[in-house]
Each structure stands twice: as structure tokens, then as C-alpha cells.
A = this chain, B = another copy of it.
């Protein structure tokens, strides 16, 4: 039994390593997509799009390993929660990769025209969002439930920045029709950053479930009614 348990531990450790590898790929996609925007770098944007295939392959592999362990080892308690959480986290990571790919696509469109204006809000949104993804993954590695929950609190700031940018870009479009195309692509980038922050929040919630067995999703909303996403 002790040998079996040790064997399961080794398998779980292998899954953890693959998850971190996938997390690293996804973090690099987001950071390179934003770098490609700020430096108007088409090649880097194109590379981000290629990188998404590796992320998709890792998703399938980790899912397969989790399913095999569930079927053969029938893990319980914290081991079971670990596996279920990993499957959920992997799903969110894959969607973060898709969002980074969408950003890279918008960058390619933007690079074909002169810049609309210096980017200020996007780098700020990107910095907070990237910190959320990093801390959500760190909370998993370091088994830190407080950090995992804290990630969610930053989501409000991202929603505010997105609202603000939305209004600003709408004004640009109304002021001058020549701005419309570029403003739409910038809006797409902001929208995808906002989604990445949502996924980081989900990952934080999954980490709390893994560590404490509590489902902290969908907290009661305030009277104003957030989207709850």
C-alpha cells in the first residue's frame, strides 16, 4: 500500500510538472502578444499563434493523465481534489492561450496601419492581468489559499479599466471615422485581457477547492449586479 501510494505521488508530481509547463507556455503567450503590440512586431505575433498548438497538445496530454489516474488509482480526498482541480485549471489555461492568440491576431491587424495613439491603459491592464495569472499559478504551486483568493479581488480593477477604455475608444470612434477600425482592434485586445483576468480568477477559485475543499465560485453579488463570470 505504501508503495502504491508512493507510485501515485510520483504520478501526481508528473502531472503537476506538466501543468506548470503549460502555465509557463500560456504566460509567455500573453506576455509576447503584448510585447508584439507595443513593439509592432509581426513576427512575434505570428509566433504566439503557433505557440497555441503546443498549449492545446499539453491540455490533451494532462487531461489524459488525469483520467488514467482517476480510472486506475481511484484516488480519494486531497489527491482526488488535486486531479479534479488540475482538469479545471488546464481548461482555463487553454482558454487563456486562445485569448492570447486573439490578441496576437488583433496586433497583426493594428500593425498594418499607423498607431492610433500611444498605448497607456492596455499595458496597465496587461500588467495586472499577467500578475493575476502568475499568482494564480504560484498559489497552486505554493499551496497558498490566501493568495489564490486574493487574485479574485484584483478582477474588479480590470473590469473598471475595461469599462473606462471602452468609453474612451467609443469616443475616439465617434470623433473620427478614421479611428473606427483601429479602435475596434484595441477594444478586442482589452476584451481578451479582461477574459484572461476572469480565467485567472477561476484558477484561483479551483486552487481554493483543491486546498480546502470549499467551492468559492459565484459569491453573492452586490446590488449593482456584476456579471458573475
Contacts and interface: CB of A to CB of B under 8 A. Distances in A.
B174 A170 contact: no
Given A170-B184, A228-B56, A77 B84 contact: no
Interface size bucket, A side? 35 or more
A190 to B, nearest CB: 13
Interface string A156-189: 0000000000000010011101001100100000
Given A52-B228, A76-B71, A98-B227, A64 B215 contact: yes
Contact of A173 (B52, B76, B80, B173): B173
Contacts of A60: 215, 217-218
Nearest to A63: B215
Given A60-B218, A177-B177, A228 B67 contact: no
- The secondary structure that dominates the A interface is helix
A87 interface: yes
A84 B65 CA distance: 13
Contacts of A101: 227-228
Given A63-B215, A177-B174, A84 B98 contact: no
Interface in A15-54: 49, 52-53
18 contacts: A49-B225, A53-B218, A56-B217, A56-B228, A59-B218, A60-B215, A63-B215, A67-B81, A70-B84, A74-B74, A87-B87, A88-B91, A98-B228, A102-B227, A173-B177, A173-B180, A174-B177, A174-B181
